[in-house]
């Protein structure tokens, strides 16, 4: 299962969930693991784009999981203003890196470089996106990629 979450994150590593004035329960890394476990989802790719999202990395890490976060546990990520279509991370990972490769890990490496360059250009403290992976999930993803029919790049 591939799950992409984007929102605001807190220093307490809670996922900010809000719908207008409706008060909703915030989502912690443990909540997400419990949801995966309760649903019986073994193979997991979790991409978490928020400030402090690195707090999800260690909790979600497992041999059957790939975890990618937009920032270190103690860092902000950037580009989440109301006028932005995508955050710095979202643009670098999905619009740029995933357009170059179907490999989630390789795309992360490409995106991390783009993000670092942009943050330096904008004189921001580095967000330091995080990744946690293991051989079992990488083997599973390689098997999945071998079934893809990719269009030639233009």
pLDDT at residue number 149: 83
Please give the model's pTM, rounded to 2 decimal places: 0.89
pLDDT at residue number 23: 72
Rounded distance, CA 132 to CA 22, Å? 34
pLDDT at residue number 102: 94
Tell me whether residue 150 is in a domain: no
pLDDT at residue number 11: 65
Non-local (6+) Cβ contacts of 31 within 8 A are none
Q: What is the pLDDT along the chain (154 residues), one digit of tens a residue?
A: 999 988 766 666 666 666 788 877 778 899 999 999 999 999 999 999 988 899 999 999 999 999 999 999 998 888 776 676 778 899 999 999 999 999 999 999 999 999 999 999 999 999 999 999 999 999 999 999 999 887 766 6
Tell me whether residue 152 is in a domain: no
- Residues composing the chain: 154
pLDDT at residue number 38: 97
120: domain range? 2-145
Tell me whether residue 22 is in a domain: yes
**Tell me, what CATH number does 130's domain have?**
3.40.50.1460
Strands 130-132 and 65-69: antiparallel
Number of domains in the chain: 1
Tell me whether residue 154 is in a domain: no
């Amino acid at each position: 299962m591939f799950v992409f979450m984007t929102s605001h994150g807190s220093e307490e590593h809670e996922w900010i969930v809000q719908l207008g004035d409706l008060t909703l329960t915030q989502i912690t890394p443990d909540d997400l693991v419990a949801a995966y476990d309760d649903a019986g989802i073994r193979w997991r790719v979790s991409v978490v784009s928020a400030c402090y999202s690195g707090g999800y990395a260690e909790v979600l890490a497992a041999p059957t999981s790939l975890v990618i976060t937009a920032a270190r546990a103690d860092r902000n990520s950037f580009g989440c203003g109301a006028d932005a279509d995508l955050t710095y991370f979202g643009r670098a990972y999905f619009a740029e890196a995933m357009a170059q490769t179907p490999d989630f890990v390789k795309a992360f490496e490409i995106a991390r470089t783009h993000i670092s360059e942009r943050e330096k250009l904008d004189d921001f403290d580095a967000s330091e996106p995080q990744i946690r992976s293991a051989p079992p999930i990488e083997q599973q993803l390689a098997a999945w990629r071998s079934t893809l029919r990719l269009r030639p790049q233009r």
